[in-house]
Amino acid sequence: MTRSVFVINAGSSSLKYQLVDLDSGAALASGLIERIGETTGEAKHELPGRPKVVEQRVIPDHEKAFGWVLRQLDQHGPALDEAGIIGIGHRVVQGGARFDRAVLIDDDVAQQIDDLAPLAPLHNPANLQGIRSARATFMGYPHVAVFDTAFHLTIPPAAHRYAIEARIAAEHRVRKYGFHGTSHQYVSRRMAELLGRPLDEVNTIVLHLGNGASATAVRGGRSIETSMGMTPLAGLVMGTRSGDVDPGVIFHLHRVAGLSVDEIDLLLNKRSGLLGMTGTGDMRDVLQSAEAGIPRAVEALEVVGHRLRGTVGAYLAHLGRTDAIAFTAGIGENAAKVREVALAGLEGLGIVLDPERNAGRGERRISADGSAIEVWVVPTNEELEIARQVAALVDAG
Ligand code: AMP
C-alpha cells in the first residue's frame, strides 16, 4: 500500500504542491498555480511520464485553487483514496524562536504563525492562507507545519544575537533566525550518508545556491551558524537580493538619495544581487556574459565568489574541523563555474576541486582524491524532507 504526503508551499498569489511517495521519495503528482486573485491565472498539474495539464483560468483565491487540484487528482490521478495520503505538510517560512521542529497544526499553532507575521510579512500570512484553505479542502487529514527556520534554532546566542540594545532586540524579536532550513537539514543528513558515517560525527558546510542563497555550518547534524539573518535578505549575493550590506547604506540612501524605506526595501530585495549588478537575475545569463568578457558580469561573478569564499573561511573557523562542503539548489547543483570560483585559492585550507568531476552531473564527489575536505554536489529535495518530517510526526502520534 502506497504511503504518501501532500506537500504544500503557498505564496500570496501562488500554490505549489507535490504528492510525495514516502517509500521511493518520488513525486506521484506535482503542480503549480500562479497569479491567484489576478485577472488571469495559470494552473499546471503534472504526473510522471505524462504530458502536463496546463490551464489558463481565473483563480480567485486559494480555496478555489485547491478545488482545482482536487479535480485534477480526481480526473488524472492519483485518486485520493488510492494515494495513501497520511498527512498534509505545509512549508512555513518563519517559526520564530518558538518552533524548533515540525508541529501538528491546530487553531493555536495557526494563531502563533499569524503572530509571527511581523517578522515575515510577505510569507507567513500567505502560508497561513494556504493552511486555512487546505484544512477546509483536505478535512480529516493531519496537517503539519514545517518551518524554514526550525533547523537553525540550535544556533548558539553568540551567533544569533545582533549587537544592538538588548531591550529593543527582545521587544521586537530581532535576532538571526536563518532560512532554507529544510534544505540544509536534508543535504547535511544526506552528506553523512554519502560519507558513510554517523550524522552526529560529521561536520558539513552546506551552500544552498539558488535564486535565494544561504550557507550553513552544520556540526553533527545541528546548525551552528547560517548566513541569512532575521530576514532572508542577509548574507550571500542572490538573484535579486543584495545579501550583506553595511546597514549604514540604508540611512545614506534615505537621507542623501531621498529614497523612502519602502523604496529601499524594494531596491535591496528585488532590484539588487545579480539583477542589480548585471541586468539579469538568472545565473545562466550572467555566466554566459562573463564568458563573453562583459565587464559587469565578470565583476558580478567575482563578487559572488569573494562573498562565498569569505563565508566558507568563516565557517571552517566556526566548525574547527570540517569533513565536507556540499553544494545544492539551482546554481549549486548546476553551475560548475560558480563552484570553481567559490573555492578558488582554498587549496592551502585543504580544499581541492577536481575539474573533471566538477564538470559532471548529478549527486557526486567533486573534490580531488587528495583533498583533506571532501566537496560534493548533493541535489536538495525540500519536498521529501517535509514529507519525512510529516511522516515522523504522524507515525509518532
Ligand atoms: P533555484 O532557486 O534553486 O530554483 O535556482 C534558480 C537559479 O539556478 C537561477 O539563478 C538559475 O539561473 C540557476 N540555474 C539553473 N540551472 C542552471 C545551470 N545549468 N547553470 C547555471 N545556473 C543555473
* Mean pLDDT, residues 221-229: 98
Q: Is the pLDDT of residue 79 over 90?
A: no
Domain of residue 101: give its range.
4-147
Report the alpha-carbon distance of residue 213 to residue 10 in Å, rounded: 20
CA of 95 to the centre of ligand 1 (A): 27
Report the alpha-carbon distance of residue 234 to residue 6 in Å, rounded: 31
Best residue among 334, 361, 382 to mutate for probing ligand 1's pocket (most ligand atoms within 8 Å of CB) is 334
Residue 209 and residue 347 in one domain? yes
Q: Considering only CA atoms, which of 91, 52, 79, 127 is closest in space to residue 381?
A: 91
Report the alpha-carbon distance of residue 123 to residue 199 in Å, rounded: 31
Cell numbers standing for residue 278: 548585471
Q: Strands, E, within the chain: which ranges? A: 4-10, 15-21, 27-34, 41-46, 53-57, 85-92, 103-104, 143-147, 203-209, 213-219, 222-226, 324-328, 364-365, 374-377
Q: Is the pLDDT of residue 179 over 90?
A: yes
SS3 assignment, position 245? coil
SS3 assignment, position 87? strand
Residue 153 and residue 175 in contact, taking contact as beta carbons nearer than 8 Å: no
CA of 333 to the centre of ligand 1 (A): 8
DSSP category for residue 310: H
CA of 285 to the centre of ligand 1 (A): 10
Residue 251 is assigned to a structural domain of this protein: yes
SS3 assignment, position 192? helix
* Mean pLDDT, residues 287-313: 98
Best residue among 32, 275, 283, 301 to mutate for probing ligand 1's pocket (most ligand atoms within 8 Å of CB) is 283
* Mean pLDDT, residues 122-148: 95
Whether 148 is catalytic: yes
Residue 221 and residue 72 in one domain? no
Q: How far is CA 16 from CA 19, 33, 106, 217, 383, in A?
A: 11, 6, 22, 29, 10
Residue 162 is assigned to a structural domain of this protein: no
pLDDT, residue 95, reads 97
Nearest CA to ligand 1 atom 8: 330
Residue 393 is assigned to a structural domain of this protein: no
Residue 97 and residue 229 in one domain? no
- Domains in the chain: how many in total? 2
Residue 291 and residue 374 in one domain? yes
Strand order in the sheet with 103-104: 53-57, 41-46, 27-34, 15-21, 4-10, 85-92, 143-147, 103-104
Taking only the tens place, the pLDDT of each residue in 27-51 is 999 999 999 999 999 999 999 998 8
Question: Which residue is it, cell 508551499?
Answer: 9
Catalytic residue among 108, 148, 200, 262: 148
Residue 55 and residue 120 in one domain? yes
Q: Is the pTM of this model over 0.85?
A: yes
CB-neighbour burial class of residue 3 (10 A; exposed 0-12, middle 13-18, buried 19+): middle
Residue 280 and residue 352 in one domain? yes
Residue 292 and residue 376 in one domain? yes
CA of 365 to the centre of ligand 1 (A): 20
CA of 115 to the centre of ligand 1 (A): 34
Residue 176 is assigned to a structural domain of this protein: no
The sign of the CA dihedral 102, 108, 110, 114 is negative
Residue 378 and residue 251 in one domain? yes
Residue 92 and residue 233 in one domain? no
Question: Would you place residue 1 in the very low, low, confident or very high pLDDT band (cuts 50, 70, 90)?
Answer: confident
Q: Identify the CATH number of the domain in which residue 137 sits.
A: 3.30.420.40
Residue 8 and residue 77 in one domain? yes
Nearest CA to ligand 1 atom 23: 331
Residue 237 and residue 363 in one domain? yes
SS3 assignment, position 374? strand
Q: Strands, E, within 67-193: which ranges? A: 85-92, 103-104, 143-147
Residue 397 and residue 104 in contact, taking contact as beta carbons nearer than 8 Å: yes
Q: Is the pLDDT of residue 226 over 90?
A: yes
Q: Considering only CA atoms, which of 93, 99, 35 is closest in space to residue 64?
A: 35
Average pLDDT, the chain: 97
Q: Which among 83, 112, 147 is the end of a domain?
A: 147
- Collect all residues with Cβ–Cβ distance below 8 Å to 235 and sequence separation of at least 6: 213, 214, 215, 226, 227, 228, 229, 243, 244, 311
Q: Is the pLDDT of residue 325 over 90?
A: yes
- Collect all residues with Cβ–Cβ distance below 8 Å to 287 and sequence separation of at least 6: 297, 301, 335, 337, 338
CA of 381 to the centre of ligand 1 (A): 15
pLDDT, residue 81, reads 81
Residue 204 and residue 338 in one domain? yes
Q: Is the pLDDT of residue 77 over 90?
A: no
pLDDT, residue 73, reads 92
Specify the ligand 1 atom closest to the Cα of 239: 10
Specify the ligand 1 atom closest to the Cα of 208: 3
Q: What angle do CA 386, 332, 48 make, to 5 degrees?
A: 50
Residue 233 is assigned to a structural domain of this protein: yes
Taking only the tens place, the pLDDT of each residue in 359-392 is 999 999 999 999 999 999 999 999 999 999 999 9
Residue 169 is assigned to a structural domain of this protein: no
Nearest CA to ligand 1 atom 19: 334
Residue 378 is assigned to a structural domain of this protein: yes
Q: Which among 125, 147, 169 is the end of a domain?
A: 147
pLDDT, residue 80, reads 82
Residue 352 is assigned to a structural domain of this protein: yes
Strands 85-92 and 143-147: parallel
CB-neighbour burial class of residue 354 (10 A; exposed 0-12, middle 13-18, buried 19+): middle
Best residue among 211, 236, 285, 287 to mutate for probing ligand 1's pocket (most ligand atoms within 8 Å of CB) is 211
pLDDT, residue 106, reads 96
* Mean pLDDT, residues 80-101: 95
Report the alpha-carbon distance of residue 365 to residue 377 in Å, rounded: 6
Nearest CA to ligand 1 atom 15: 330
Q: Is the pLDDT of residue 397 over 90?
A: no
List residues near ligand 1 (CB under 6 A).
Answer: 210-211, 239, 282-284, 287, 329-331, 334-335
